[in-house]
Structure 1
Amino acid sequence: MRCLLFATLFAILLLHVADAATGKAPGISVTFTAAGKSDTRTARLCALYVPKGAPATPFLPVGPFTAKMEGDVDSPLRGDYTFSVEVRGQVKVSVNGQQILDAAGAAAAQYANKQVQLQKGANHFTVEFASDGENDAQLQLHWASKEFPREPVPPTSWTHTPAPNEISDSKKREGRMLFTELHCAACHDSGALISKDGSGMMETMMTAPDLADAGARFRPGWVAAWVENPRAIRPGATMPALHATKEQSADIAAFLATLGKPAKVSVEKPATEVADAGGGLFANLGCIACHTPPGFSAKDEHARIPLAHVAGKFQPAALGEFLKNPMTHNAWTRMPNFRLNDAEAAQLSAYLLATTKAEFPAATGDATRGKALVASLGCANCHAIPGIEKSTLAAPALTAVIKAGAKGCLAEGEDKAPRFALSPQQREGLTAFLATDLASLKRDVPAEFAERQIARMNCAACHPRDGQQSTWQKVEDEMGALQSAAQRPTDPVEGAPVAGTVVPHLTWFGEKLLPGWMGSFIAGAAPYKPRPWIIARMPGFGGPAMGIAVGLAQQHGLPLSDAPEPAPDKEKLALGEKLTGSDGGFNCMTCHALKEQAATAVFEAPGVNLGNTAERVRKAWFHRWLLAPLRVDAETKMPKFSEDGVTTQITDVLGGKAADQFEAIWQYLHSLN
């Protein structure tokens, strides 16, 4: 049964929500114009990457385009900064009404530098970019000062006042996403408006969970209650109420119960220590960041998904099987795959089943009547259901829905149509989207896809991003009792795995990681864990993974891959090896392993294995990280080797020049691959 918290889905809109006191929103406003049409959205960074032959936004056609970016950079004090751009296309940059940069590039990204004094407080930036229509379009805005080396102007520095066109265009985007989340085209024939091969908006390919083996997985009492009113069980569920009576709901539950038989399991209650170990997993794997603990009954300020219904929903053996692979019956589920082994799945199941409270009355219905109802109510339009080849529900075509306006599912009372319980804001968004030509369903932009899926998959539940704490960090006080009961230490012990919310910040992933490796990691297919000392593990998110990786890179103004490395310099390779060592080098192996060579003297927690650097990390980020690690991650234990950003304390290698030394280390690490 498909369900999704609308509160999480609409996190997409947070970029457009202005602060009540200042009227400002995070990020910058970007207005794209192509073929005489314009479209405005919010961006986290002053950056873009649009491959040749791709649209700048889903709402504009392919072809040459312009982009006008506007936002404010807040400076705590008056000071001098050097701004630079990397550009493929043409760009002009103005600060407080004065043009500071005018640059153009074609075959390769070009630099232009300009020093400017920022005033204390808000400084208004206007960036005007034009693509040439013949090459990839690229833009990155960087800054530097005497306090820090060249870096992208960070997301936390940008704010802007949303203009009316940005607000109206954000409603179109909200409606477009709702259109796919609610599976509108499953009932309303879209004709040729939607690509059948997934080449447009990827979410149009999303399906609801298949109901094969539903009888083996779900308890009939829960099914009947869910069909009658999904939101009574789970606020924000996208499964609509179908105007089914209690009797009809019981009939549907009776039919679905014929689809598979529950597995026989022991009726013995699991030992207390098994459930306690499951509670530890619930805390340490980050389940608690997306879900309230099963016994939680109060209103949750973090809008986490409740689990009080779990014991009443799943057949005894089915919960463990679901936890081991949530995507078995739903490739687009938001529940990721943590690659639990049998013991872990049993422990987590024992914890959830021992502490959930909600029960559902037994449902006794007629399976024959239920099968007819499943066909007539259109269930098979969204769900694959054995025995139901075709829905008999007659719904108007999408073109008729557009002409009808606020009727049917869009009507406030929703009369005979499925009841989605749309809020006024959601209804307004769908109406705004349906007023477009819907051509955006056949187009998409990876940068926007990534942002939608980061919101949908609730990545910020575990990962801090753009200066915002993760939900996991906010609920750390709930974790102690679970960890203690599971006999997991809450304080780090040298050499032992770290239990807690120590996970990488999401802010710079698009700049840092190569999309190929990042996509594999997000999908759960990477062959190793980069930070094995952390108890938490990155789960697999399946289908959207590569799209998220590519989109994050393009948000940072970067292509799929870096330029090919030149032939290695043998002298630099030797110097790079020396610089990583303890004899005249930076002694990197104190904290970092290098391929099979273990770290020699780890303090608190080791660093990542440097032998994997070249396949994971982009070269430009590597140099930025070594120059000023605290500018990238304020919580890192990585030392700064160049205090002035120019030289290091190792003066007898490459003249002590930091950039040359770091390049030698890069070449050496790259040679290991």
Structure 2
Amino acid sequence: MHKQIRQGWRSGLMTALFGCCAATCFCPSNTNAADKPEPGLAVAFNALDGDNIKATDVTVLPNVWLYVPAGKPPTPFLPAGRFSVEWAGFIASEIRDNYTFQAELNGVLKLEINGAAVLEARARETNTAPSKPVRLNKGTNAFRLYFTSPAEGAAFVRLFWSTREFALEPIALGALTHETTAELQKAGLLRFGRELFVEFRCAKCHSGPAPGVGIPELTMDAPAFEGIGSRRNYHWMARWIADPKSLRATAHMPKLLHTPKAKEDAEAIAAFLASLKSDSTPKDAKEPDAAQIESGRKLFETLHCIACHNTPGSTENDPQKVSFTHIRDKFTAGSLVAFLRKPEEHYAWMRMPNFKLAPDEAAPLAAFLESAADKPGDVSAPGDTAAVERGRKLVQTSGCLNCHALKLENQFKTGSLAELTPDKWKQGCLAEKPNDDSKAPQFNFTVVEREGLRAFAATDRASLTRHVPAEFAERQSRLLRCAECHGKFEGFPPWETLGGKLKPEWMKAFIGGELAYKPRPWIEARMPAFPQYADALATGLTEEQGLPPRTPAEPPIDLEAAKIGRKLVSASGGFFCVSCHAVGGLAAAQVFESNGVNLAYTGARLQKEYYHRWVRNPLRIEPATKMPVYFDAEGRSPLTDYYEGDAGKQIEAIWQYIRLGDKMPPPVEAQ
């Protein structure tokens, strides 16, 4: 049921997202969804002053999941403090059936289905009682849920449903839809403008919040200039500086030079940058042979580089992907290998991840990437000191050092963000038509982009000081194109499930490339590292699903239960989990169709609630999984010798055994 949505709510969010809403609620006209319903629910957040609403923000969220730490804002456009929320839209059922609803809650909740109250609860950091069974019609049913934050502590809610056919679980993403409204479009445009403001590094020139006060993206850097002459070719830098978008349609760097001397100025800046050599200049690589290029091609496919790049030598020309056409012109001889091994070395917020390539991997991959590229320009950097000196002065006075790091005095000044009143957002960078007499950078913003930035300008811009991790995760995972691999390739779990599946501490280490092991070593592909993004992504993915950013401490391990769990995973009187799953250093005994992750990693890796649902009925979560279902719909186990066949208790006993981690004793038969 409801398997169709993997990442659709994100595209639905972007469809709805073209703007801010003064309305406090959403009112679908009837109980039938719109002709073109969008994934997710329309959500209205209200900042409260007593019982009065003092400010409102609206957006689209995938489900009834929310976690707001105490003292933090619920959205970037509302202050911290008490708030209320309303989710509105439609909930679908494939057949007419009775459903029961239940919530994890800290606050006050009221759920309405088709206009009738289904569940009302006030809870403090606990589960509500289950609702009475409610009949959902086949097709769509009007859905509305109200939530008010508690007087103290974190505000959170997670809604679950169940039927006679399946146990309690989060509502399927594919079951929830909403109607797009003008208010949602206005709110989306506002968020779009805020995103553009941080993506295009506007605060680097127009200073806003003090360092450490604003959202993480305000610290985003650009490629460092230190030693850049050893990494980039003069000819390419001159072309890039003159007009970045001529080389990459999605470039964020503006066209800074647009006087009659623009080409000459760009060449002077490139000459200065080319003079900045590092102590360790790469050696010229040997000419690769056909075998090395073929090895690189295979690695390109294995690593799924196509998720972000057009394949070298192909006719593919997706403007949203990075092309390798100019790669030989861009990188100095031998420097591409070093870049592939550590992309973030000179650019911390680089979106190119670190695949931890070995030297004998990076060299063939570089050879393949360069094999179909245009020949590099044969223009050498000017050798005269006058050109270099002129370039140095231009770097100091043109705004380059606002984004790019170099130990050199920055002499470029412009107005602060506070000085930019809304009327000024039609001038300079945001002028309808470029003015060659203006010194303002030319970003070539589209009409919609200018509208978004002006919508953001019309606010108090306090949203730049309000970091909401769930919004960070949605925004950055989209820009990092995470869903281009997750949910599309074997072994890559759907992105939308990760926050409710994995513990944030483990996610941070995994995304950051800090784990010493590979969870699925039988898969050729590998998870690359995004060290600069890891912490905020892990926190945001977790809070997005209504869970705390730090896993709550569990009671001490129940060693007696762990002994039973040890028996339950064994072949002797157990479920024979070790057939497919290794246990520490003990290899899986008899893999038939598919390996399983080493059980020694599971306790540190999985959220406990997810683990229980997965073991109870893995096919409900992943229909293609090879893991069998051992328990019936009533929660009974075929192994009646343990806990009288109580599935919940047996699953918990295995959890206690798994929690031992690298101290897990091997199953009984392995003694």
Give the TM-score of the pair, scaled to structure 2.
0.89
1:95–1:358 CA distance, 2 compared to 1 (3 A):
farther
The alpha carbon displacement at 1:21 in A equals 8.6
Moved more, 375-384 or 636-645: 636-645
The alpha carbon displacement at 1:162 in A equals 2.3
1:410–1:148 CA distance, 2 compared to 1 (3 A):
same
Equivalence for 2:366: 349
- SS state at 1:601 partner: coil
For residues 653 and 428 of structure 1, what CA distance do their matches in structure 2 show? 64
2:433 to 408, 413, 417: 413
- SS state at 1:553 partner: helix
Equivalence for 1:479: none
The alpha carbon displacement at 1:608 in A equals 0.2
1:359–1:297 CA distance, 2 compared to 1 (3 A):
farther
1:189–1:107 CA distance, 2 compared to 1 (3 A):
closer
The alpha carbon displacement at 1:399 in A equals 2.8
Equivalence for 2:51: none
Equivalence for 2:21: none
Equivalence for 2:216: 202
Equivalence for 1:384: 405
- Please state if 1:586 is matched with 2:575: yes
Equivalence for 2:26: none
Matches within 5 A, 1:107-186: 107-186=125-204
Partner deviation per Cα, 1:184-238 (whole Å, 9 max, x = no partner):
1111233xxx1311x4311111111111111100111111111111111111100
Partner deviation per Cα, 1:145-173 (whole Å, 9 max, x = no partner):
12221100022221111222222121111
1:620–1:461 CA distance, 2 compared to 1 (3 A):
same
Equivalence for 2:88: 70
The alpha carbon displacement at 1:76 in A equals 2.0
Q: In the alignment, is the contact (CA less than 8 A) between 2:513 and 2:528 conserved in 1?
A: yes
The alpha carbon displacement at 1:645 in A equals 4.4
- Please state if 1:657 is matched with 2:671: no
1:454 to 464, 477, 480: 477
Equivalence for 1:618: 607
Q: In the alignment, is the contact (CA less than 8 A) between 1:18 and 1:24 conserved in 2?
A: no
For residues 565 and 206 of structure 1, what CA distance do their matches in structure 2 show? 37
For residues 451 and 64 of structure 2, what CA distance do their matches in structure 1 show? 30
The alpha carbon displacement at 1:524 in A equals 0.7
- SS state at 1:17 partner: helix
Partner deviation per Cα, 1:434-468 (whole Å, 9 max, x = no partner):
1110111111111111111111211112112xxxx
The alpha carbon displacement at 1:243 in A equals 2.5
Partner deviation per Cα, 1:490-519 (whole Å, 9 max, x = no partner):
xxxxxxxxxxx4322222111111101111
- SS state at 1:328 partner: helix
For residues 510 and 159 of structure 2, what CA distance do their matches in structure 1 show? 28
The alpha carbon displacement at 1:412 in A equals 1.7
Equivalence for 2:669: none
Matches within 5 A, 1:275-314: 275-300=293-318, 303-314=320-331
- Please state if 1:428 is matched with 2:428: no
In structure 1, list runs of 5 or more residues that go unmatched: 1-10, 465-469, 474-500
Partner deviation per Cα, 1:508-542 (whole Å, 9 max, x = no partner):
11111110111111111112111111111111101
1:80–1:273 CA distance, 2 compared to 1 (3 A):
same
1:406–1:13 CA distance, 2 compared to 1 (3 A):
farther
For residues 231 and 632 of structure 2, what CA distance do their matches in structure 1 show? 60
- Please state if 1:445 is matched with 2:471: no
Equivalence for 2:596: 607
Equivalent AA in structure 2 for residue 383 of structure 1: H
The alpha carbon displacement at 1:133 in A equals 2.9
Matches within 5 A, 1:50-61: 50-61=68-79
The alpha carbon displacement at 1:138 in A equals 1.0
For residues 121 and 376 of structure 1, what CA distance do their matches in structure 2 show? 63
- SS state at 1:53 partner: coil
For residues 303 and 409 of structure 2, what CA distance do their matches in structure 1 show? 40
1:181–1:309 CA distance, 2 compared to 1 (3 A):
same
1:410–1:146 CA distance, 2 compared to 1 (3 A):
same
The alpha carbon displacement at 1:413 in A equals 1.3
- Please state if 1:324 is matched with 2:344: no
Equivalence for 1:237: 251
1:269 to 273, 283, 287: 287
Equivalence for 1:221: 235
Equivalent AA in structure 1 for residue 264 of structure 2: E
- Please state if 1:509 is matched with 2:498: yes
Partner deviation per Cα, 1:563-592 (whole Å, 9 max, x = no partner):
433344444222111100001100000000
For residues 670 and 396 of structure 1, what CA distance do their matches in structure 2 show? 56
The alpha carbon displacement at 1:22 in A equals 2.8
For residues 212 and 571 of structure 1, what CA distance do their matches in structure 2 show? 60
Q: In the alignment, is the contact (CA less than 8 A) between 2:64 and 2:87 conserved in 1?
A: yes
Q: In the alignment, is the contact (CA less than 8 A) between 1:255 and 1:371 conserved in 2?
A: yes
Equivalence for 1:400: 419
The alpha carbon displacement at 1:45 in A equals 1.4
Equivalence for 1:17: 15
1:534 to 502, 523, 531: 523
Equivalence for 1:488: none
Q: In the alignment, is the contact (CA less than 8 A) between 1:49 and 1:136 conserved in 2?
A: yes
Moved more, 290-299 or 55-64: 290-299
For residues 165 and 228 of structure 1, what CA distance do their matches in structure 2 show? 40
For residues 362 and 651 of structure 2, what CA distance do their matches in structure 1 show? 45
Equivalence for 2:354: 337
Equivalence for 1:372: 393
For residues 358 and 152 of structure 1, what CA distance do their matches in structure 2 show? 54
For residues 227 and 270 of structure 2, what CA distance do their matches in structure 1 show? 13
- Please state if 1:31 is matched with 2:44: yes
The alpha carbon displacement at 1:297 in A equals 4.2
Partner deviation per Cα, 1:308-350 (whole Å, 9 max, x = no partner):
1111100111101111101111110101111111111111111
Give the TM-score of the pair, scaled to structure 1.
0.89
For residues 269 and 562 of structure 1, what CA distance do their matches in structure 2 show? 52
Matches within 5 A, 1:242-261: 242-244=256-258, 245-260=262-277
The two structures, once aligned, show a CA RMSD in angstroms of: 2.0
- SS state at 1:140 partner: strand
Equivalent AA in structure 1 for residue 434 of structure 2: E
Equivalence for 1:494: none
The alpha carbon displacement at 1:264 in A equals 5.7
The alpha carbon displacement at 1:109 in A equals 4.1
**Moved beyond 6 Å, runs of 4+:** none
The alpha carbon displacement at 1:361 in A equals 5.9
The alpha carbon displacement at 1:635 in A equals 1.9
For residues 421 and 130 of structure 2, what CA distance do their matches in structure 1 show? 49
- Please state if 1:89 is matched with 2:107: yes
Equivalent AA in structure 1 for residue 242 of structure 2: E
Q: In the alignment, is the contact (CA less than 8 A) between 2:500 and 2:547 conserved in 1?
A: yes
1:296–1:248 CA distance, 2 compared to 1 (3 A):
farther
Equivalent AA in structure 2 for residue 106 of structure 1: R
Q: In the alignment, is the contact (CA less than 8 A) between 1:627 and 1:645 conserved in 2?
A: no
Q: In the alignment, is the contact (CA less than 8 A) between 1:46 and 1:140 conserved in 2?
A: yes
For residues 559 and 404 of structure 2, what CA distance do their matches in structure 1 show? 60
Q: In the alignment, is the contact (CA less than 8 A) between 2:324 and 2:370 conserved in 1?
A: no
- SS state at 1:433 partner: helix
1:358–1:294 CA distance, 2 compared to 1 (3 A):
farther
Matches within 5 A, 1:545-564: 545-564=534-553
Q: In the alignment, is the contact (CA less than 8 A) between 2:310 and 2:316 conserved in 1?
A: no
For residues 315 and 267 of structure 2, what CA distance do their matches in structure 1 show? 27
The alpha carbon displacement at 1:272 in A equals 1.4
